[in-house]
Structure 1
Amino acid sequence: MAGGVRATCGGPLARLLILAVLHVNFVALGLEPDFLFPLENVTIAQGRDAMFTCVVNNLGGYRVAWIKADTKAILAIHEHVITNNARLSVTHNDYNTWTLNIRGVKREDRGQYMCQVNTDPMKMQTAFLEVVIPPDIVYEETSGDMMVPEGGSAKLVCKARGFPPPKILWRREDGGDIISRGGPQGKTKVLSLEGEVVNLTKVTRSEMGAYLCIAANGVPPSVSKRIMLHVHFHPLVQVPNQLVGAPTGTDVTLQCHVEASPKAINYWTRENGEMIISNDKYQMGEINSSAYSVQMRLLVRSIQSNDLGGYKCISKNSIGDAEGNIRLYEVELPNRKPKVEDERSSILNEINDVRSSLQGPLREGGPRTAEDAGFLGGAAPHPAPRFTPPSMFLIIALLHAAC
């Protein structure tokens, strides 16, 4: 019997009796349920989990209920979920705190939520659940890559969805200016433009390139789409040097600058129309300068007389063709004396230098030697023996060599 009483005391009926007693006691004492903290608004990104926490003191035998205020739908009473939504749950810390949990929040979960106590009159507090959505490009309504003729117009459109509604910003991928024409201020250049639509008029080849539409609404991450604008035009060939001279036996490089869109086929010919192909004699190459311009180069190795004459650089695309002309001529090197003559001239200059040093300076003033004194009437001394200095043998040898 005692065991049965204990079982009954621990069952649901016993808990209801306890709550009823507490309720009577709270009423007798004049203690009413009250909210300890306000219910706080929640802003959450779609797909994340959200929760509201309601703290009630002196609950007694009353019940806490959760209600979707804007639809008046009862979500849960105490810990029991009423609505048919598997993403909702309620937890209770067995004291005074009730928490409403919403897993994987969706856009339709947005709205006002109420924590309510069934007193008379009813007590409640509310909070708002804001569900934000990162931006997303609406590709079916957004422009793709496009082609326009030079001088034509292009309309770039970018649509995005999300909450709050995203703002659209346009930039050029290369950091260049976006050129706007036809407005009240005429032609203007800006680094960025805001809005879903960008109208480009009288498009030039310099406006060719990738344009980025960037959608942002403060909810990360921002998204963007790359739109390539192709501007088509007739090939243009510019020749920096139409006359190129070089000595025979040397290498020379011929150059042409080409602008074309769509991409052109570029090649070289001789003036008689013979096409040039890469081999041991010729080497052709191209260097890209931009999306529509290249530098054509033709290297001619060890030029000979038959390499002189006219050369053509030709560019062709689907719109048209163009060509440039270059003439290669021979440049003669300055004449130089043969090496033997240079050596002979050097030897003669050395001989003249030696002769000048042997003659010595011209004498001025009175007699300075015995020979001079005899010439002037004095007694003539015995003549000194004469000999050929060793340096004279060198001079004679150099003279023979020079002759």
Structure 2
Amino acid sequence: MLQIRYPQRRDSGFYECQVSTTPPIGHSMYLSVVEPITIIIGEPDMYIYKGSTINLTCVVKHSPEPPPAIYWTHNSQEINYDSPRGGVSVITEKGDVTTSYLLIQRANTPDSGKYTCNPSNANLKTVVVHVLNGEHPAAIQYGGQLRLQYPVSVFLLSVVVTLIGS
């Protein structure tokens, strides 16, 4: 029996078991060591308007099996889906690629902070959510989509100024 403790990618390759007989009997097999990857779409920072829905999407790829559990935390505290706040839910789709969606309805200022997706068999990933009261940063999430505001308007303004100045 061969046991590899703390396997790493460099341990991937062919291994052979041989029995000392004449002629020798052997059986070879290929070991593939994969490293799961966790991402949160939109990381490292997301900007959400107060009152909208926060939609955090955590994706786990290259896992030998779907994670038995995915834990979500907010500012290092496990999220309680039965809290009096209400409007918090998680949907997880397991498979070759596992996706977990954390949905927080009616975002408010206390919902700002660090959110972490922690799959039980992969590395954790963190995103910082900023709930805004009507300020206008460069990027805002609308219903799960990221829209750039200022870069396009600044570009158009610079084109107009350039044309007027010519």
Q: If the length of structure 2 is used for normalisation, what is the TM-score? A: 0.54
String of CA shifts for 1:192-241, please: whole Å, max 9, x gaps. 98652111111122111110122442xxxx4222211111127xxxxxxx
Residues matched between the structures, number: 123
Runs of at least 4 residues off by over 6 Å: none
Verify: 1:57 aligned to 2:24, yes or no. Answer: no
Aligned to 1:169: 71
Q: Tell me: higher relative CO, structure 1 or 2? Use CA pairs within 8 A at least 6 residues apart.
A: 2
Verify: 1:187 aligned to 2:150, yes or no. Answer: no
Aligned to 1:107: none
Q: If the length of structure 1 is used for normalisation, what is the TM-score? A: 0.25
- RMSD of the TM alignment (CA)? 3.8
Aligned to 1:151: 51
String of CA shifts for 1:286-329, please: whole Å, max 9, x gaps. xxxxxxxxxxxxxxxxxxxxxxxxxxxxxxxxxxxxxxxxxxxx
Aligned partner of residue 133 in structure 2, secondary structure? strand
Aligned to 1:288: none
Higher helix proportion (structure 1 or 2): 1
Counterpart-to-counterpart distance in 2, 1:206 and 1:188: 14
Counterpart-to-counterpart distance in 2, 1:187 and 1:216: 25
Aligned partner of residue 47 in structure 1, secondary structure? helix
Aligned partner of residue 227 in structure 1, secondary structure? strand
**In 2 relative to 1, CA 177–211 (structure 1 residues): closer, same or farther, beyond 3 Å?**
same
Aligned partner of residue 206 in structure 1, secondary structure? helix
**In 2 relative to 1, CA 179–146 (structure 1 residues): closer, same or farther, beyond 3 Å?**
farther
**In 2 relative to 1, CA 180–147 (structure 1 residues): closer, same or farther, beyond 3 Å?**
farther
**In 2 relative to 1, CA 176–166 (structure 1 residues): closer, same or farther, beyond 3 Å?**
closer
Matched AA of 2:16:
F
Counterpart-to-counterpart distance in 1, 2:133 and 2:48: 9
Q: Percent identity?
A: 15
Counterpart-to-counterpart distance in 2, 1:130 and 1:204: 49
CA shift for structure 1 position 155: 0.9
CA shift for structure 1 position 152: 0.9
8 Å CA contact retained: 2:54, 2:105: yes
CA shift for structure 1 position 156: 0.6
String of CA shifts for 1:251-297, please: whole Å, max 9, x gaps. xxxxxxxxxx78xxxxxxxxxxxxxxxxxxxxxxxxxxxxxxxxxxx
**In 2 relative to 1, CA 212–223 (structure 1 residues): closer, same or farther, beyond 3 Å?**
same
- Compare CA radii of gyration and give the structure with the larger one: 1
Verify: 1:131 aligned to 2:95, yes or no. Answer: no
Aligned to 1:232: 132
* 2:11 paired residue among 45, 48, 55: 48
Counterpart-to-counterpart distance in 2, 1:199 and 1:134: 28
**In 2 relative to 1, CA 210–172 (structure 1 residues): closer, same or farther, beyond 3 Å?**
same
Aligned partner of residue 163 in structure 1, secondary structure? coil
1:341-360 counterparts in 2 under 5 A? none
Unaligned segments of structure 1, at least 5 residues: 1-39, 65-113, 116-125, 235-260, 263-403
**In 2 relative to 1, CA 213–46 (structure 1 residues): closer, same or farther, beyond 3 Å?**
same
